[in-house]
């Protein structure tokens, strides 16, 4: 069996995945939002209206997927690799269905197929116990908020480039983010109008930089398993769990930050149970979240679904669900963090890579040195043991 076919199929898959990250640039019913939240009209005016079509030709994408399956069936590769490609293609089909049903009830149905729901864990005592233990691993919020604009960008840029020497990573300003920071393949974006403490910027460094951008760099550097450089929704579960876990074990997770992570989870759960966008916004404001931050988070929760409630964009649940699953997974399979830093992969794909020998192994080009510190390893060990003790029959 030749790795040439893996390379060819990976290239085809990458082409199919192109332009399917539309969930990062969602549309909203702007007229309705302005009526409900006139105080946030300035930010609303920067958003795209739901009536603006997505720039994807759904028919041609589906035809390309059909052809990919024909090529895959003929390929002389292992069955495990065929399953990886098949499952990723199924994800892309679901994404297209979400695009076709954006802003209606069917969007939510497809969303839960990709990202799950809060309903089955809402009354799980072990899950609640796990969450109650996490503040023991958080640090006090310290440091004055004194870096803004180019100063903040420069601080983050220097730390990021030191983390990935020899790479072409950069930090750029972006004013339309629903969060304060986000990562692309080589660029970390930051809201330049907010004022940050160095502690807050360090959180962005490890979450968006070390994890999301770092795994993108490693995926792009793969020679024998290039599909690891291509995003698919099933990789989000592990990615977001890894990002929050990295904040915890590096000592970056502050008590204030953990509170916001919890509020994101609770807000999504509220929306699924019937709370509308005004209810979720009021809930976040009641918990002392700044007005614009509360509005942005409410928008994240209602991405693609009607504002009336009963549905949510459930990807927001994966920060906590993914972290618990990752800890259990690492403990069960006795694997280290380096094994999940090789690119964009799911839990099932990680297991496959452990066993796959026919087509070579994934290599690791970048791994932040800070993750090898004894304190970090000790925190990771304690959290793995906690997860495994509570979910000894598996988490999900």
51-62: average pLDDT: 93
Higher-pLDDT residue of 333 and 142 is: 333
Whether pLDDT at 359 is above 60: no
Strand partners, 139: 254
What are 199-258's pLDDT values in tens digits? Answer: 999 999 999 999 999 999 999 999 999 999 999 999 999 999 999 999 999 999 999 999
> Would you give the distance in Å from CA 194 to the centre of its chain?
22
Q: Is residue 226 a part of any domain in this protein?
A: yes
Residue 372 structural domain = 127-254+319-390
The span from the CA of 209 to the CA of 366, in Å, is: 12
* Contact between residue 344 and residue 235 where contact means Cβ atoms under 8 Å apart: yes
* Contact between residue 44 and residue 32 where contact means Cβ atoms under 8 Å apart: no
89-101: average pLDDT: 95
Higher-pLDDT residue of 1 and 67 is: 67
- Answering whether pTM is above 0.85, one says yes
Q: Is residue 65 a part of any domain in this protein?
A: no
Structure tokens at 305: 């679904």
| Pairing mode, strands 187-190 and 195-196 | unpaired
Structure tokens at 143: 């440091």
Q: Is residue 181 a part of any domain in this protein?
A: yes
What are 297-343's pLDDT values in tens digits? Answer: 999 999 999 999 999 999 999 999 999 999 999 999 999 999 999 99
Query: From the CB of residue 94, how many other CB atoms can be counted at a distance below 10 Å?
Result: 17
Find the farthest-apart pair of alpha carbons in the chain and give their distance in angstroms, rounded.
62
8-34: average pLDDT: 92
Whether pLDDT at 1 is above 50: no
Q: Is residue 141 a part of any domain in this protein?
A: yes
Place of tokens 């297209």: 96
What are 110-141's pLDDT values in tens digits? Answer: 999 999 999 876 668 899 999 999 999 999 98
What are 69-88's pLDDT values in tens digits? Answer: 999 999 999 999 999 999 99
Q: Is residue 353 a part of any domain in this protein?
A: yes
pLDDT at 360: 60
pLDDT at 179: 74
DSSP 88: H
Q: Produce one character per residue of 174-209: b if its CB has 16 or more CB atoms within 10 Å, e if not.
A: eeeebebbbbbeebbbbbeebebbbbbbbbbbbbbb
Q: Is residue 134 a part of any domain in this protein?
A: yes
Mean pLDDT of the chain: 92
What percent of the chain is predicted at pLDDT more than 70? 96
**Looking at the 3D structure of the chain, how many domains does it have?**
1
**Does an H or E element contain 156, and which?**
helix 150-163
């Amino acid at each position: 069996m030749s790795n040439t076919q893996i390379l060819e199929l990976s290239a085809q898959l990458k082409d199919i995945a192109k332009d399917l990250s539309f969930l990062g640039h969602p549309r909203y019913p702007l007229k309705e939002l302005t009526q409900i939240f006139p105080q946030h009209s300035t930010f609303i005016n920067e958003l795209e209206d739901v009536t603006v079509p997505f720039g994807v030709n759904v028919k041609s994408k589906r035809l390309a997927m059909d052809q990919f399956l024909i090529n895959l069936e003929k390929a002389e590769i292992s069955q495990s690799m065929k399953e990886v490609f098949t499952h990723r293609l199924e994800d892309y089909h679901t994404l297209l269905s979400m695009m076709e049903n954006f802003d209606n009830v069917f969007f939510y149905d497809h969303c839960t197929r990709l990202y799950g729901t809060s309903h089955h864990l809402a009354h799980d005592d072990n899950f609640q116990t796990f969450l109650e233990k996490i503040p023991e691993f958080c640090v006090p919020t310290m440091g004055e908020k004194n870096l803004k604009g180019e100063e903040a960008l420069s601080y983050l840029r220097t730390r990021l480039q030191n983390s990935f020497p020899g790479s072409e990573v950069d930090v750029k300003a972006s004013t339309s983010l629903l969060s304060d920071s986000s990562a692309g393949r080589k660029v970390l974006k930051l809201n330049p109008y907010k004022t940050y403490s160095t502690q807050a910027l360090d959180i962005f460094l490890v979450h968006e930089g070390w994890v999301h951008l770092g795994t993108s760099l490693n995926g792009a550097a793969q020679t024998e398993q290039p599909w690891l450089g291509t995003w698919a929704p099933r990789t989000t579960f592990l990615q977001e769990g890894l990002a929050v876990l990295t904040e915890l074990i590096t000592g970056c997770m502050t008590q204030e930050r953990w509170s916001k992570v919890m509020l994101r989870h609770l807000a999504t759960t509220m929306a699924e149970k019937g709370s509308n966008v005004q209810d979720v916004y009021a809930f976040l404001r009641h918990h002392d979240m700044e007005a614009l931050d509360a509005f942005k988070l409410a928008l994240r929760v209602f991405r693609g679904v009607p504002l009336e409630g009963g549905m949510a964009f459930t990807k927001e649940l994966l920060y906590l669900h993914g972290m618990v699953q990752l800890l259990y997974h690492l403990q069960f399979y006795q694997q280290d963090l380096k094994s999940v830093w090789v690119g964009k992969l799911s839990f099932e794909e990680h297991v496959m890579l452990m066993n796959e020998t026919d087509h070579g192994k994934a290599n690791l080009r970048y791994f932040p040195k800070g993750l090898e510190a004894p304190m970090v390893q000790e925190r990771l060990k304690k959290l793995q043991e906690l997860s495994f003790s509570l979910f000894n029959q598996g988490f999900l």
